[in-house]
Chain A
Amino acid sequence: MGSLLKINEGIRLVLPNDLKVSSLQEERHVVFHEQESRTLAFWDTFEWGLWFGGYVLYSYGGVYHLCSREEGWLGAVICEEETGDRRRFWGDFETVSMRTALERTLGLRSLAMVVEGTFHLRLGELRNEAEKIVCRLELSSVSAGREGEEKLLRTCQVLPLRGYEAEAARVVEYLTQRGAKSSGDGPVDVLLRHANNEPQKYTLRPSFGLTKETPAREAIGRIVRTMLEIAVSNIPGILNDLDTEFLHDYRICIRKIRSVLSLVKDVYPAEGTGRMRKILGDLARQTNRLRDLDVYLLARDEYLGLLPPELRPALEGMFEDFSAERDIEVQDTTLKIRAHSNRKLLRKMAVYFSEETAHKPSSSADIPVGPLVFRCIYKRYRKIREIAAGIGTETPDEVVHQLRIECKKLRYLMEFFSELIPGEEGAQMLKMLRRLQGRLGDFNDASVQQKSLLDYWEHKKSGPDVAMGVGGLVSILYHRQQQTRGLIKQSLGEFCGGSTAAAFKNTFKLSDSVSAKSAQ
């Protein structure tokens, strides 16, 4: 099928409904083969990772075909894999070529069917006096679903043969004179549009169309509404437990909204902001355990790889326990999210932050968001420097954890308002912050994981083999944590001094006059 729909050579034409290509037979010697129909199911992730990565994946007759995407057309087949079963994640595929091609574009995302369409194909050959093929034709029409009657698009691909290009040019001329067009949407575009499922870019870091002069309440309102919309778009994926990233992204959106409400103060009335923050806190809390279990289970292979083979079987039991607990937790969490009370909370938030809702005045509501936020960013940066000054080899884990939280707050602010920050400096500052956060994250993960492993052991009271497995892993994680301390110190040095400090000061520290004016 791939070869039949290939467009990386030849000329693609979209045909008007009333054009009969068979009329070509009246003037030229064309032989048409029997029509064949195939129903293809197209697959992609929630993020349209394949589509935007330049691929199309479809299945037909138990075979998955990965093709390059040429606009809305199927390009050359990159690899194929025969399977009777449904494949959800890249790791479910068996052939090396398919796994390699999909790993980068799918990541942790699962595949879901995005549309189904039936292609009716008819091949034709234009022959010369010696009966030699001089041009090939691929007539195709596509209809929606398995037995769609309505033809959504008719196309003809004219495939020249080397040395006989003039013949193909004549066919193209014949068809274009009768209304065929060489531009326009391809069959996959048309199918997706018909299914009302057109690919859309998905990001947790959208643009909000802000300028420095945007009034603060308008700016924060826009941010909250957008993030809330992204959070809600993830709910169906959580309820169907399609993959772990729906919950992950939902939690990030909630956390980011909560964070911006507390960092940029007095934009909405204090009482209302407090109520909204409580709702957000409640929503996040009900998913905590499920996310923890997801994190443990995603790290399964890495954990087991840290231990010598003889200690691994004991620890596999622990992951089975986690997996069983996750099954129960998924049911609990989805029940809570599905609950009427939960939906009411989300509705309340949507209403509160709606553009139509009138709120009482508050001190920062109408001031330009630029100076207000820059002050907040610089304040966070100074706070990080303060904590960093006290970090040493003996610093308790809690202080490092506090530093991590402060960095996260700074990162959220810088990402929300990235449109206001000069590009190059902003990118450099964020690069340094990301590096520091990465190391703080590793430190925190090692710390939390040790604790949860010991909690598991405490709670389970299993035999000595499990004790050895847990003990072995805790030792490795402790060692890893200590190593990370040194790296954190180094990253802090880079982040709190030198050119990064100068960049923060130059970008975010406002002169007293600007500061006073914006505060008025």
Chain B
Amino acid sequence: MDATFASIIAAAAPLVYAAVGEAITERAGIVNLSLDGSILLSAMTGFAVAFTTGRVGLGFAAAAGVSALVALLVAWSGISLRLNQVAVGFVLTLLAAAVASYQGEGFVHQPGPSVTPRPIPVLADIPVVGRALFGQNLSVYGSLLLVAAAGWFLARSRPGLSLRAVGERPEVAHARGINVNRYRYLAALVGGALVGVGGAAFSLDQKLGWSDGHTAGFGWIALAIVIFGGWQPLRVALGCYLFGALQVVALRLQSRIPGLAQILPSIPFPLMIFALLLVNSAGLRRLLARSHRVSRWLLPEAPAALGRNFVP
């Protein structure tokens, strides 16, 4: 049981980076649709750099950089050129995937370096949760810390409040002296870098190495989980762990049910669509209208200014 928990937490780590990163970006009102391509590109870059230099840390840094660059392009085209963020994001999805498969050709199926396990003595021996939380490596510890930090930042910190204001009511935020577009650029960069870390966490930790379409589909899954998780880091992470659990279970059942691995990627989507239908159903809204607190928790809304460019 301990081992199962530990493998779920580890399997979900890349997705946690990507989905929490995207949640931060979207909270500021920028939608970076390029995730599926960004993750592929950063997984390839991370592996290629680590393979060439022999240093895993450098691979993570390069992956974060390249993915932040893609996010910057989305933000810039929206903020400065006032283009449709969805259009630019979609083009970048395909372009980043194509670049990954072109530049990654020499690294296909090469054995390479990976993140070393670093269990924390004593703590890792705590029953049930010990191995899951303290028997991992730096990449997985980072994902756990990120969830806590992002949750605190958005809900409790002053800049987090400003960031949310920028995503909900940019006009009001602007009137209160907040530099809306600076916040948006920063949120896109930070979120993009986290997506890149997620890509590297695939190729250097969870799904070692590089092949064409190595992480295909995970970007769309991350985007779906952001919605499913209501743009809140803790719930987004919960969605990722749910998917991680599905992955681990599918892996164990694969010998008995052939084809399960191929069908797995489609599972989050019916779930997400169901969640969205539930959220938008008039009946449930009426039922919950009496208690604002419960309904706000159960039925989160998208940031009001999501994808809308702001002109000061």
To the question of whether A and B form a pair in one complex, the answer is no
Interface residues of A (CB under 8 A from B): none
Interface residues of B (CB under 8 A from A): none
